[in-house]
A and B are shown apart, each in its own frame.
Chain A
Amino acid sequence: MWDIFLVVGIGFFIGYKGLLNEKGIKINSKLQTVWLMLLIFCMGVSIGRNGDIVKNLPLLGGKAVLFAIMTALCSTIVIYILSTLFLEKEGKK
């Protein structure tokens, strides 16, 4: 967990202190999409190569998918209600 704090912190410092010029910021934004897609691909590979996941999928996959959908959905509903009631609207980027 500390490595995450470290890299986010260093990145934040660079952004906050304006150590990147306009061009650098644009490149960073484009590269971010590349890193994101690569990460998602790598995570897909981790799942595909995991024998336990593939093996248990036919029997327990349906229940697991339902848990995933319901937890994500209910969290979203609760946050929607709380943010509408208590939080200022966050603008577009």
Chain B
Amino acid sequence: MSLAILAVLVLGIGAGYFMPGDLSAFIDSASSYMLLILLFSVGIDMGLNKEVFTRIRELGFKILLIPFGVVVGSLCGGVLTALLVKLSIKEGLAISAGLGWYSLSGILITEAGNPVGGTIAFLANVFREMLTFIVVPFVASHLNYYCAIAPAGATAMDTTLGIISKNTNGTIAVLSFVSGVICTLLVPVLVPIFL
């Protein structure tokens, strides 16, 4: 699965680079509709799992462990990377606090007067989303289902929810959605803290 996804992704990038601008603009705008169709389909799968409410009730506040872990892990990753590539710790934290939401994190950091940091944040969070598509099947089968939510960050509620649902089950898909929503709400709060 991971290889097929990588191939489709590379194909898309190549096509986007070489195809006429108006065609790629059309496909670009089509992707938001594609996302909604996919999420509708994922929603059906979530609903089919009749135990989902029981499981969520059993988990209770433990649900929050997932977004908490995602944020802590991302920030740790940001600090380690900042040390490796000789950026300031604050920059590393701000970049990693994007949690995969590339458009917002890039803009926030750029507008704070750090265009280079903003560009790195934009690219880093784009790559994080791409990486998530590729690694989720592997992580779900080799570690555990909860871990499949981790690389997704804020995108666990939309773009990468489909791949997570496909490789796990209905309960995890709901947890993924909840985690994604919480991460999405946290990005605009967290990034400015570190600027």
Contact = CB atoms under 8 A, between A and B. Distances in A.
Interface string A20-46: 100001001101110111111111111
A46 B28 contact: yes
B73 A71 contact: yes
Interface residues of B, number: 102
Contacts of A16: 47-48, 50
B144 A83 contact: yes
Contacts of B131: 68-69, 72
By DSSP majority rule, is chain B's interface helix, strand, loop, or mixed?
helix
Contacts of B45: 11, 15, 28-29, 32
Which DSSP category, helix, strand, loop or mixed, fits chain A's interface?
A: helix
A79 B95 CA distance: 20
Interface string A82-93: 111011111111
Contacts of A92: 169
A36 B163 contact: yes
Given A4-B36, A36-B162, A39-B35, A31 B41 contact: yes
6 contacts: A32-B45, A33-B166, A39-B38, A41-B12, A63-B85, A79-B146
